[in-house]
């Protein structure tokens, strides 16, 4: 797959491991203190929600519908044109324009929605993409909020403000990095 996808998958797996570790640590601490001290504070509740949504996101990643590409002219299906090895430097859009990946009837415009001038994507894939993107963004926002409330709890308990400053420095650095990577991908993605 693409470099972006490998990073995406790796970071999501790292997030799942981190969230699972946090949940296990919290359960271990809760077990030592006894269940009578176990409450569903904002931090705890959001932690469980983030964990559940992360698992849902992983499941969505594994059940992704196949990307269907159908000629916008609704022509009859053709066999994909083999691309010689020396021409593999084409962009994904150029390669996709030479292939048809659909098992559906190409003359049925109701089964797909136009996503570009030359191609169509199935409605199922579009719904999946919308869910995957917004569940991911929701997880990101809730995870940051949960981490922030956890740090606030730590600061209240141990009267240490340094961790809060470190959190916002790291959050700013990560946000800036994600913004730069997004801009880079959008600017140079189609120029390969």
Least Cα distance to 98 among 117, 118, 116 occurs for 118
Task: State the alpha helices, DSSP H only, in the chain.
Answer: 3-33, 42-62, 92-96, 123-158, 162-188
Q: Give CA–CA dist 81/155, Å, rounded.
A: 62
Distance of CA 153 to the CA centre of its chain: 29
What is the pLDDT tens value at each position of the chain, 192 positions in all? Answer: 577 788 888 888 888 898 888 888 877 776 665 555 555 688 888 988 999 999 999 898 888 887 654 444 444 445 555 555 554 444 554 444 444 333 443 444 444 444 444 445 788 888 998 999 899 999 989 998 998 888 888 888 778 778 778 888 888 888 888 888 888 878 877 665
Least Cα distance to 130 among 122, 141, 120, 118 occurs for 122
DSSP 3-state of 53:
helix
pLDDT for 134: 92
Beta bridge partners, 121, equal 113
Task: Give yes or no for a contact between 47 and 23, defined as CB atoms under 8 angstroms apart.
Answer: yes
pLDDT for 84: 54
Strand 70-71 vs strand 112-114: parallel, antiparallel, or unpaired? unpaired
């Amino acid at each position: 797959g693409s470099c972006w996808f490998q990073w995406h998958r790796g970071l999501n797996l790292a997030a799942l491991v981190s969230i699972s570790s946090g949940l296990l640590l919290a359960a271990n601490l809760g077990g030592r203190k006894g269940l009578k001290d176990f409450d569903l504070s904002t931090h705890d509740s959001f932690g469980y929600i983030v964990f559940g949504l992360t698992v849902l996101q992983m499941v969505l990643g594994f059940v992704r519908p196949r990307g269907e590409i159908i000629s916008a002219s609704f022509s009859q299906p053709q066999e994909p044109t083999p691309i010689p090895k020396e021409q593999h430097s084409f962009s994904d859009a150029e390669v996709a324009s030479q292939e048809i990946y659909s098992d559906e009837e190409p003359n049925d415009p109701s089964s797909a929605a136009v996503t570009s001038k030359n191609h169509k994507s199935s409605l199922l894939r579009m719904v999946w993409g919308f869910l995957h993107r917004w569940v991911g963004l929701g997880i990101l926002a809730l995870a940051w909020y949960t981490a922030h409330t956890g740090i606030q709890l730590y600061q209240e308990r141990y009267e240490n403000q340094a961790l809060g400053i470190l959190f916002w420095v790291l959050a700013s650095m990560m946000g800036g990095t994600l913004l730069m990577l997004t801009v880079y991908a959008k600017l140079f993605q189609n120029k390969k």
